Structure 1
């Protein structure tokens, strides 16, 4: 976890993000900066659908796409919309501790049983569903996945600043992730 940088002062924010919407996000959430008023989104946040995470940000400050593991591969049209129509120039990709999209194979039986018991699915359909989609949504290690997703988005949108972040569920704080 030595790749995680806590934000305790504004100086902890990497210089390339300081005084940008990414820095503002970190200041609002971790440093409890007083909210400014916004008429339009300043950035796009891609984060996990996990219900344990909540960002402390002002209204209208950000587009937010929530997808399992902060995997935006299947939300790319929405990313493009935020850039082309919403005029955002900054993206924060936020993974988090204890993500359910890590080690999906260990959850296979609970997943299948849950669809059978709670949704009324036939077991064979639930198993086929898991086998078809789990490989698409498995993220491996949270930090490594965030870094790979940031790299992918930077290649796809070269004029957009994309920052890797990590949300510790244990302390409800955002951390910057150092890149090699």
Structure 2
């Protein structure tokens, strides 16, 4: 059984997400649903800062937090604000394939050299910076991370609908995630 469930029709959307902001996100992005007008957002989308992803959603539809790997652990105040003040009723977590926050240790030299050559850092400061922050931002693998982050957020915000989704870069499509796979 695959983790990824394609959304090619409205009927492919899991029943718990139909007629919710999660379902509308899938309809806008994958099914070219005509854009509705929104005065405020009902959904928070947590997604990677990767420049290869672009969502097809209407203006004012969503709060969007883009962080390395879609990791919301260090954006929790912003998540809470979007719920408490912004009125968000759902959170969509978007993992994606080929994420740069996977296996950060393999990128250590390139990272350090890049800060030295491109940003003017001294080598010791660049090494210390990597060693301090890389463990905080490493996500392991994309699938496990988005599933575990969804579980964490459900415990933290029990009245909020939280959906783990996956963005396939080559296809520019969102997939539902089968959490029982």
| Shorter-chain TM-score range | over 0.9
Counterpart for residue 26 of structure 1: 26
Provide Cα deviations, 1:2-57, integer angstroms capped at 9, x if missing partner.
11011000011000001100000000000000110000002000000000000000
Describe the superposition over 1:144-176 as per-residue Cα deviations: whole angstroms up to 9, x where unpaired: 000010011001001000000000011100001
Aligned pairs (5 A) from 1:49-88: 49-88=49-88
Aligned residue in 2 for 1:102:
102
CA–CA distance in structure 1, aligned partners of residues 89 and 137 of structure 2: 26
Structure 1 residue 90 corresponds to structure 2 residue 90: yes
- For structure 2, list consecutive stretches of 5 or more residues without a partner in the other structure: none
CA RMSD, Structure 1 to Structure 2 (Å): 0.8
The corresponding residue for 1:126 is 126
Give the match for residue 117 of structure 1.
117
Q: Partner of 1:144 in structure 2? A: 144
* 1:83 Cα deviation from its structure 2 partner: 0.1
Counterpart in the other structure of 2:172: 172
Where do 4+ consecutive residues of structure 1 move more than 6 Å? none
**Partner SS state of residue 16, structure 2:** coil
Counterparts of 2:80 and 2:68, CA distance in 1:
19
- 1:90-138 Cα shifts (integer Å, max 9, x gaps): 0000010100000001000000000000000010110011011101100
Structure 1 Cα separation of the partners of residues 140 and 77 of structure 2:
24
TM-score (norm 2): 0.98
How many residue pairs were aligned?
Answer: 180
1:163 partner SS: strand
